[in-house]
Amino acid sequence: GMLVDNAIVVSEAIVVKMEKGTDAKEAAIESARELAVPLLVSSLTTSAAFLSFFLAASIMGEMMGPLFSVITIALLSSWLLSLTMVALLAVFFIRVKRQASQSEKSTFIGRLNGQYKELLLKALAHPYSFMGIIAGLFVLSLFGFGFLPFIFFPDSERNLLTVNLNLPLGTKIETTTARVERLEAYIADSLLVSKNRQRGVTDWATFVSEGPPSYDQGYQSGEANSGYAHMLLNTSSGDDNQWVIDRLDAFCFRSFPDAEIRVSRLAGGGGGSDVAVRITGPDPNELFGLAERIKQKLNEISSAQNIGDNWGPKIKKVVVDIDQSKTLNPGLTNPSLALSLQTALTGSIRELSARATRVSPLSCATKAVRMWMCANWRASTSTPKGRAKTCRWDKWRRSCRSGNSPRSNGATCIAP
């Protein structure tokens, strides 16, 4: 529709002038001269509505940015063709009969044009009063904008909620499972729909350490993490979503002080935190200092929750690159190296008891345990340092520069 608007306006103006007795060529020239600037401004105004997509420095900008370019090129091409080709073709193909002046006011369009003309003449006769009315309406519109919520893409009204639980890095999966079971027990006891409770949660699904496959366009499953859990909750209706969110937020705030938990609807646009500040620079220590100052300011806001950053705790992460050609020479394998690293870095102590029989002081089970321990000990100690593997630090970077993004979510309310 937007592509043909310019051509419709130009052709209609030519027809009106020709009906009043103007020559076809002169009507085309006058219409093009009169409508060139107004049509250009209207086309650019339509393009400006999509400018935010082009300027957005996010995934949405990368996906929707070309839409602004395509629409702008199409509208400017339509404007140019309407002033040239449409006007030229109108001279050769449009044929109209001149209407009598006394019949112009007999039609509805004629009467409407007459009233519009009278209103326009009055506005031109009192320009200062007219501009004052326009200025007053503009100020009134600015005042009315204050009652509109600052939501670019509203959240979904579907009766589905998501719960993202993030515990500190390195948390055991058993601890995460225990937290999730406690949250599920609260849902079953206080929020589950029953005969005595008409609104709340109807059913739910839980995914520990790894999110589910993509079930919505705004959802992206992250990397596997033993301290992460994702829950999907079906509610009684979309109107009851906020009621459930308030109670889950209050329970999680009281029960899990060391966890970062966010209960939300399905996002209508890009996901992420409500407030985020991106800091980039060459010095990681300076980045951490600035991030801590920003997080302290966020802590002073009573409605801020889940305050953190994309780096998380300052923990060193080592990435082990195994050279396959060098591991084959001493007889090592990837499973043996992985088991050695896991034994050295993680795990828990377990007592091992064995009782020998009278016939064989060393049973087959004891032999198997000793052989397994010796094999893994040789694999982890006999290989020279740096022969089969190299270690490197892994840092968060953006555009080849170190970066840190303090972030926070806003709480609508905390239920008692």
The string of pLDDT tens digits covering residues 216-244 is 766 777 778 888 999 999 999 888 898 99
Q: Could you say which DSSP state residue 192 is in?
A: B
- Rounded CA-CA distance 103/106 in Å is 5
Is 80 exceeded by the pLDDT of residue 321? no
Rg (CA), the chain: 35
| pLDDT the model gives residue 218 | 65
Cβ neighbours around 235 below 10 Å, total: 25
SS3 state of residue 220? coil
Structure confidence by residue, pLDDT tens digits, 331-354 = 677 777 777 777 766 665 666 665
DSSP 120-169: HHHHHHSHHHHHHHHHHHHHHHHHHHTTS---SSPPP-SSEEEEEEEPPT
Q: Where is pLDDT greater, at 21 or 318?
A: 21
pLDDT category at 279 given cuts 50, 70, 90 is confident
| pLDDT the model gives residue 373 | 47
| pLDDT the model gives residue 289 | 84
Q: Where is pLDDT greater, at 334 or 197?
A: 197
What is the fold of 160-272? Alpha-Beta Plaits (3.30.70)
- Rounded CA-CA distance 337/79 in Å is 68
CATH 2.60.40.10 corresponds to the domain 2-145: no
Cβ neighbours around 376 below 10 Å, total: 15
| pLDDT the model gives residue 415 | 36
| pLDDT the model gives residue 368 | 44
Please give the average per-residue pLDDT across 396-403, as a whole number: 62
| pLDDT the model gives residue 361 | 47
| pLDDT the model gives residue 106 | 64
Structure confidence by residue, pLDDT tens digits, 198-223 = 899 999 999 998 888 877 766 777 77
Is 80 exceeded by the pLDDT of residue 308? no
- The answer to which of 199-208, 223-232, 303-312, 367-376 has the lowest mean pLDDT is 367-376
Please give the average per-residue pLDDT across 391-401, as a whole number: 61
- Rounded CA-CA distance 292/290 in Å is 5
Report which of 211, 179, 404 is spatially closest to residue 312, judged by C-alpha positions.
404
| pLDDT the model gives residue 75 | 93
Report which of 18, 3, 2 is spatially closest to residue 87, judged by C-alpha positions.
18
| pLDDT the model gives residue 292 | 85
| pLDDT the model gives residue 111 | 83
Work out the mean pLDDT of the chain and round it to a whole number: 79
Quote the tokens at residue 37: 């600037």
| pLDDT the model gives residue 113 | 83
Please give the average per-residue pLDDT across 79-92, as a whole number: 92
Is 90 exceeded by the pLDDT of residue 85? yes
For 116, half-sphere exposure in the C-beta direction (CA atoms, 13 angstrom radius) is: 7
Is 60 exceeded by the pLDDT of residue 363? no
Question: In the chain, where are the structural domains located?
Answer: 2-145, 160-272
Please give the average per-residue pLDDT across 145-149, as a whole number: 84
Beta carbons within 8 Å of 272's beta carbon, 6+ residues apart: 407
- Calculate what percentage of the chain has a pLDDT beyond 90: 30
Please give the average per-residue pLDDT across 3-28, as a whole number: 89
Q: Where is pLDDT greater, at 365 or 124?
A: 124
| pLDDT the model gives residue 210 | 85
- Rounded CA-CA distance 204/233 in Å is 4
- Calculate what percentage of the chain has a pLDDT beyond 70: 72
